[in-house]
Amino acid sequence: MLFMCATLSFAKEGFVTYVVDGKTYEGYYTTPSDEAPLVFIIHDWDGLNEYEMTRAKMLNALGYGAFAIDLFGQGVKPVTLEEKKALTNALYNDRAKMRKLLDAGYQAAKKEGANVSNAIGIGYCFGGAALLEMARMGTPLKGFAVFHGGLATPTGEDYTKTKGFILVLHGSADESVSLDEFTGLAKELEKTKLKHEMITYSGAPHAFTVFGTDRYREDADKKSWRRLVEFLGEMLSK
């Protein structure tokens, strides 16, 4: 169900609630029109908050709709490091549940009339790892853009069902996701013969796109966003 927010800037903006296994989740959908190409956004371990909403509105300004998928639950906004680790580890350790939640978000967007047939996904940090799960499960998106995300493939999984182009935007100073992990994914994607592009940014640490933090790197953020905008033009029809 979409709860509309009064706005002069966008044709549609609001929170979308949906239920998975008896628990309520709350996505965020904003679009200039229902026909606009769509970008799914997967949040980092802070949960769905103002950061994802800001990125969504940046996409609106370019003519794209955006649907941010909630993986933690309505009102769940972890604050402490322990809370964030507990929420993400629960999904890392239960990939079937992660996939169910990703698909539920996709279906919620589709039910709202979002243009899921002309869509890509983007994910930040934990959300990047979740986005690659979305790719491996065969979600029919045209592309998947990962910003400083976890890149390791879980045992028993592969990219044989992946339908879209993989774009990885990574900081070479990332101490959470090593360059060995980055290289490992490149080798795996090449072996699978899956179209991909992988870029590193010198001096950029983990979470280099997150505004207002000590990890933010303006140069890498602007360059990676510029590549995303190009990618959207390459992958999506208007």
pLDDT value for 132: 98
Domain 2-235 has CATH 3.40.50.1820: yes
Count of beta carbons in the 10 Å neighbourhood of residue 49: 13
- For the chain, the domains span 2-235
Q: pTM for this one?
A: 0.94
> How would residue 11 be classed by pLDDT, with cut points 50, 70 and 90?
confident
Q: Are 113 and 90 in contact (CB under 8 A)?
A: no
pLDDT value for 93: 97
Task: DSSP letter for 71, please.
Answer: S
Nearest to 101 by CA among 27, 4, 49: 27
Q: Are 115 and 92 in contact (CB under 8 A)?
A: no
Answer whether residue 17 shows pLDDT above 80: yes
Residues in the chain: 238
Chain segment 194-224, per-residue pLDDT in tens: 999 999 999 999 999 999 999 999 999 999 9
Answer whether residue 169 shows pLDDT above 80: yes
Q: Which residue has the tokens 């870029």?
A: 199
> How would residue 238 be classed by pLDDT, with cut points 50, 70 and 90?
confident
